[in-house]
Amino acid sequence: MATGLLAQGGEKRASIMSCLSLIHLSPVFSSQIKQSSTQRFGKRHVLKNVREYLVCRSSSNDKKGFSPRQEKKDIVVVESYQELSTPPQQITRENILTTCVSTSGIMGLASVALHVASPVISRAAHEEIFQSLYQDSLIGHVGIEECVGMLTTAMAVTGVRLLLLQNWPEFKEATDVANKQILIPLKDNIGDVALVAAMPAMAEELLFRWALVPAVYPDWRGVVISGLVFGILHINGGRNSAFAAWASCVGCVYGFLYIYSGSAAVAVGAHAMSNIFSATLWLQGYKPILMNDDTLIE
């Protein structure tokens, strides 16, 4: 029976071979094989073929008797199967909200400290452009023109994001991974979704635009540098280089909005609205995303 299974062609044979290779390796290397197998074929497909292998081994042992050496190798496969078939620990609403509030608070404190230190560390501290941006840039003047710019920027960022999700697979993959972790547990409470969209936006704009831009240089150079730092720090939680590139670009957009308006509140509003729009639109289509090959269906 095992020989018959291994004789099958295509991806099924490759998947089975990846599973069978577990018995020839130590548990450390087995975890690497498991990871590569599940990434290539999907957890459900790999589990199915591991089960088939175990059935074959059981039938073979019934006829020929147990070999201690083979039995030890089979244990590795069984443990791998058990690990793969165990659902991952669910991230709860409380976990997400607690992390959001604490992280945003830490970023807020860091932004205040950096802003206070800006006159000391900025090379442009003696220039008029620094003084005008440093002294009254937290709220500044927010009139009709600034509100229109805020809304227009948020809608433009959201529209471009939707286009990229349809045409850039790497960006879509990173977005889906991150949003599944954060938004799915909150999908039944729009207030929670708005909170985790708006609070990090406020903290990020205060740190990367209100504090970092004047500290580096209060013009396009500071905007670009803060945007690059902003993007690099987004490579986490399943986000990849594609997402980092996107974050750098929108970081620069918010930076130029901050420089143009002279108000961090305008950048905060645009960022928060864009996050809320994007999160709401993503959640409207979350059901098809959840029913992919990585979903374990017994």
Q: How confident is the model at residue 46 (pLDDT cuts 50, 70, 90)?
A: low
**Owning domain of residue 116:** 93-290
Write the CB contacts of 81 (distance below 8 Å, at least 6 apart in sequence): 47, 50, 51, 54
Q: Rounded mean pLDDT of the chain?
A: 78
State residue 54's pLDDT score.
61
| 269-297 residue pLDDT tens | 999 999 999 999 999 886 544 444 444 33
Kindly list the distances between the CA atom of residue 249 and the CA atoms of 45, 68, 150, 170, 255, in Å, as whole numbers in the listed order. 38, 59, 17, 16, 10
Q: Which two tokens stand for residue 287?
A: 């059901």
**Residue 295 located in a structural domain:** no
- State whether 55 and 115 are in the same domain: no
Structural domains in the chain (count): 2
- State whether 205 and 116 are in the same domain: yes
- State whether 267 and 186 are in the same domain: yes
Predicted TM-score (pTM) of the model is: 0.69
State residue 60's pLDDT score.
58
Q: How confident is the model at residue 48 (pLDDT cuts 50, 70, 90)?
A: low
Look at residues 21, 52, 85 and tell me which one is the last residue of a structural domain. Answer: 85
| 199-252 residue pLDDT tens | 999 999 999 999 999 999 899 999 999 999 999 999 887 789 999 999 999 999
Element (DSSP H or E) covering residue 41: helix 27-41
**Residue 296 located in a structural domain:** no
| 107-165 residue pLDDT tens | 999 999 999 999 999 888 888 778 878 777 788 888 999 999 999 999 999 999 999 99
| 150-176 residue pLDDT tens | 999 999 999 999 999 999 999 999 999
Look at residues 85, 111, 132 and tell me which one is the last residue of a structural domain. Answer: 85
With helix as H, strand as E and coil as C, how does 60-116 read? HHHHHCCCHHHHHHHHHHHHHHHHHHCCCCCCCHHHHHHHHHHHHHHHHHHHHHHHH
- State whether 258 and 134 are in the same domain: yes
**Residue 297 located in a structural domain:** no
Kindly tell me the sign of the dihedral angle through the C-alpha atoms of 36, 37, 39, 40.
positive
- State whether 53 and 107 are in the same domain: no
The amino acid that residue 148 corresponds to is V
% of the chain with per-residue pLDDT over 90: 50
- State whether 77 and 187 are in the same domain: no
Q: What is the mean pLDDT of residues 253-276?
A: 95
% of the chain with per-residue pLDDT over 70: 65
**Residue 143 located in a structural domain:** yes
Question: How far is Cα of residue 286 from the mean position of the Cα atoms in its chain?
Answer: 15
